[in-house]
Structure 1
Amino acid sequence: MSTHASQLERLTFFSDAVFAIAITLLVIEIHVPRLGVADDHAYLVALHELTPSFMGFILSFLVIGALWAAHHRVFGLLADYDSGLVMPNLLLLMVIAFMPFATALMSANPLARVPELFYAGTLFTAGVLQRWLFGKALRAPYLRRDVAQADVVAVRARSWALPTAALLAFALAWVAPAYNNFVLLMIPLLARMFPRLARRRLAAATA
């Protein structure tokens, strides 16, 4: 194994570890009810009050999972590495590690505008940093030789899904806090639509 390949593998393993820790820390922010009674109704009420925390956990779990899947996909396309990828990757991981706090702030303050803006802003920052990292990584001389240009175009286009949805959620948070998070459900749709449009543009340009 070459030195560069070994360093790329270390960078990937380190990134995977940060993603795994961040996604696990999400559940720590859901505090277990300790009522000291045996009343079923009291526990049902306590669990119901945790609904915003459950929803925040699910939402952030899916978002971090999608970020990891994209990171895994892109780094699987690489054959080489240099120090120019380290800082963008570290900045992305910094925001990923911060997401449990942003999630807890948003979940603990449902219907509050500032926590929703803070959460959407955190997601937007993660999306922009990921797009920056992918833009630097998906080019020569880092790419494997067998990677098609159409695949590179599609992956780059897909990386706009999160920042686009997060920006819309940020704007909507001003008028509909909490409900703005439903916009984030568009991420899977945008992640399919953007690559298709990019492939069509590439096909039209090379026809």
Structure 2
Amino acid sequence: MTEPGGRGRYVDRFLTFIDAIVAIAITLLILPLVDLTTDYTGSAVDLIREHVPELLAFGLSFVVIFRFWKAQHHILRDVIDLDGPATQTLTCWAFTIVFLPFPTALASSSPPDETSTRALYVGTMAASAGALAVLSWAVARNPALRSGAQAPDPKQAFATFSILVVALALTTAIPATGYYPLLLLFLTGRFVDVWHRFERKPAS
């Protein structure tokens, strides 16, 4: 995909740096699984069977980081410059991505009924989604930052953030739900569709 015309060298290098951060963070997710193989003498099938929670945590976090990166890339695809709010928000988002492997490792090694671990894990995701929502709003509000007339739609990011906040509330208030509230993320598209229909509805 051709880079937007007029993007400055500083912005281009900064976004490349952000991409490198995401690549490193998503790679670090596998390290706890690699450690499981140290001095293990059983079969591969036994290893996988004994560590299903760790494998599921890795898979979920990989998908989450990839989706967050894809959303960030979509928000910034027409960006040619970054102002203070956008730069600071993008930096905060990168921090949440770097931090996510830590609660992922905790989640894979802690019992599923440990509320503090779930709160840290889901809360980190919510913070990352919130940063993307603010970033989308910051880019949309300032046409000087974009090469095209089309502004990013913050609704998708705000919907993801809202759903993760609800998931965080459920998983901490009702420990028996475990990590299942994260399945609400599959409703993000539906949530945005309802939001669009509500906006198009004529006032009575």
Q: How many residues were matched structurally?
A: 195
What amino acid maps onto 1:114 in structure 2?
S
**TM-score normalised by structure 2 residue count:** 0.83
What amino acid maps onto 1:52 in structure 2?
P
**CA–CA distance in structure 2, aligned partners of residues 35 and 176 of structure 1:** 34
CA contact (8 A) 2:78 2:148 kept: no
What amino acid maps onto 1:185 in structure 2?
L
Q: Residue 34 and residue 8 in structure 1: after superposition, are their counterparts in 2 closer, same or farther (change >3 A)?
A: closer
1:71-110 map, 5 Å: 71-110=72-111
Identify which of 173, 176, 187 aligns with 1:189.
187
Could you say which residue in structure 2 is the equivalent of 1:169?
A: 167
CA contact (8 A) 1:157 1:194 kept: no
Moved more, 138-147 or 7-16: 138-147
**CA–CA distance in structure 2, aligned partners of residues 87 and 67 of structure 1:** 17
What amino acid maps onto 1:110 in structure 2?
P
**CA–CA distance in structure 1, aligned partners of residues 22 and 170 of structure 2:** 28
CA contact (8 A) 1:161 1:187 kept: no
Identity %: 24
Could you say which residue in structure 2 is the equivalent of 1:24?
A: 27
Q: Residue 205 and residue 73 in structure 1: after superposition, are their counterparts in 2 closer, same or farther (change >3 A)?
A: farther
Unaligned runs of 5+ in 2: none
Q: Residue 8 and residue 200 in structure 1: after superposition, are their counterparts in 2 closer, same or farther (change >3 A)?
A: farther
CA contact (8 A) 2:93 2:128 kept: yes
CA contact (8 A) 1:130 1:159 kept: yes
**CA–CA distance in structure 2, aligned partners of residues 10 and 194 of structure 1:** 35
Unaligned runs of 5+ in 1: none
Could you say which residue in structure 2 is the equivalent of 1:8?
A: 11
CA contact (8 A) 2:8 2:80 kept: yes
Secondary structure of 1:141's aligned partner: helix
